Amino acid sequence: MPATDSSLKTSVGTLSLNNPFLLSSGPTTASGRQIRHAFRLGWAGAVTKTIVPDTMGIDDVSPRFAAWKGQDAGLLGFENIELLSKQKLSYWAGEIAAIKKEYPDRVLIASIMASPDPTEWQNLATAVQNAGADAVELNVSCPHGMPEQGIGAALGQHAGLVRELTHAVRGVVGIPLIVKLTPNVTDIVPVARAAVDGGADILSAINTIQCLMGIDLNTLEPLPSVAGCSTYGGYSGPAVKPIGLRMISEIARELSVPLMGIGGVSRWQDAAEYIAVGASAVQVCTEVMWSGAGIIRDMTRGLSGYLAEKHFADVGALRGHALPGIGTHAALSRTDVSLAIIDFPERCISCGRCVTACRDGGYDAVSLEEQHVVIDKNRCNGCGLCSLLCPEGVIVMQARVHGQGK
């Protein structure tokens, strides 16, 4: 097994992790084999694919994934309409017991979902606790397939139902109780508060975002096309990270509850950002589906190096570090203004993108004179658009000295 870096050790409530990286519930944890493979590679924990009552039929379609890819074929966004675990409760009870015996130092969390009947949730929770699960995660947030049946996100969008189900499960289990929240709400904080009021020890967020990936313009079929038809699915991948960061930070600012961040974690940098806004650990699924569980090596190595570079003793020292800088729009400074400057003129390739952008989407402050970019400081309003578009990093934003005119 890989050596444990002490700086990466973290705790989420009473759960102790060798590092802050867990596999989230989904296709990557559909079997005990996959979880064992991940543990061998160095993942600190895993959340099983969501376990349901044996009476609930799970019948997947094909194909059930769609992707939004960049020009280099790299993943930007991913849609998933796969349903929950097809395995029986007895399978998972046996696998949980066996995996915990083989990997006692790893955290194994059982994800469960049932009908609105609290008794079904209690029965599942009791079974996985008896099997040896370290924690139970209530999936009240799946955005596809399940809401049509009145479960999944159909439950998680109502604070009262979340409180009721959490309270019911809290009454029958002694292991840590996690509630996985849906982003498909106007405000996630009231639902998060309801989960905590119901007895949740930890919150995980976010589950996937309901979406329609696209339309095949050759066939005019929605994607993924299942015999010419499709449905709304769960959106994940790098593009959803900003939404996940917003929601984790919103919860962290309002509630003193341990958090696991989910959504768009593809590199160690993404994990560091989630931790900086209040998460104690992160869960990963989509990037493992695309690149394999071996990404854990670069993730742990990169995060460890970053902590050392920034002189953070451990993950806990980074946790919430960025939160004080997040507030209301009204509270943002109107006196500290940054202006665009040409910092690396030798890099300029005279592509003109900055000129076009500032002319049509800014303040007409950028021009090309004799194949060199020139910025009119009297026109520049400090929006930063040109610096974002520059492919060579020629234009940067520089803070204006107090009292200095344009």
**Mean pLDDT rounded to a whole number for the chain:** 96
Cα(222)–Cα(169) distance, integer angstroms: 39
Percentage of residues in the chain with pLDDT exceeding 90?
Answer: 94
Q: What is the pTM of this model?
A: 0.95
Q: Which pLDDT belongs to residue 275?
A: 98
pLDDT in tens, 29-53: 999 999 999 999 999 999 999 999 9
100 phi and psi, to 5 degrees?
Answer: -65, -30
Q: Which pLDDT belongs to residue 370?
A: 87
Token pair, residue 338, equals: 């940054």
Token pair, residue 183, equals: 């982003």
130 phi and psi, to 5 degrees?
Answer: -65, -30
Q: Which pLDDT belongs to residue 293?
A: 98
Looking at domain 6-325, what is its CATH homologous superfamily? Aldolase class I (3.20.20.70)
Q: How many CB atoms lie within 10 A of CB 259?
A: 30
pLDDT in tens, 303-319: 999 999 999 999 999 99
Cα(70)–Cα(72) distance, integer angstroms: 5
Whether residue 284 is predicted with pLDDT greater than 90 in this model: the reply is yes
Give the distance from CA 259 to its chain's centroid.
11
Q: Which pLDDT belongs to residue 282?
A: 98
pLDDT in tens, 359-377: 999 999 999 998 889 999 9
Residue pair 43/36 in contact (Cβ under 8 Å)? The answer is no
Nearest to 272 by CA among 238, 208, 322, 237: 322
Average pLDDT over residues 79-91: 98
Q: Which pLDDT belongs to residue 344?
A: 87
Average pLDDT over residues 341-364: 94
pLDDT in tens, 191-250: 999 999 999 999 999 999 999 999 999 999 999 999 999 999 999 999 999 999 999 999
390 is catalytic: no
- 3-state DSSP of 198-239: HCCCEEEECCCEEECCEEECCCCEEECCECCECCCEEEECHH
Cα(72)–Cα(75) distance, integer angstroms: 9
DSSP letter, residue 51: B
Q: Which pLDDT belongs to residue 401?
A: 52
Residue pair 319/350 in contact (Cβ under 8 Å)? The answer is no
- CATH 3.30.70.20 range(s) for the chain read 338-399
- Amino acid of residue 17: L
SS3 325: helix
Q: Which pLDDT belongs to residue 291?
A: 98
Percentage of residues in the chain with pLDDT exceeding 70?
Answer: 98
- CATH 3.20.20.70 range(s) for the chain read 6-325
Confidence of residue 405 (pLDDT cuts 50, 70, 90): very low
Cα(265)–Cα(273) distance, integer angstroms: 9
Average pLDDT over residues 132-158: 97
CATH domain 338-399 topology = Alpha-Beta Plaits (3.30.70)
Which residues are CB-contacts of 261 (< 8 A; sequence separation ≥ 6)? 204, 205, 244, 245, 248, 271, 274, 275, 277, 279, 281, 282, 283
Q: Which pLDDT belongs to residue 403?
A: 44
Cα distance between the two ends of the chain: 59
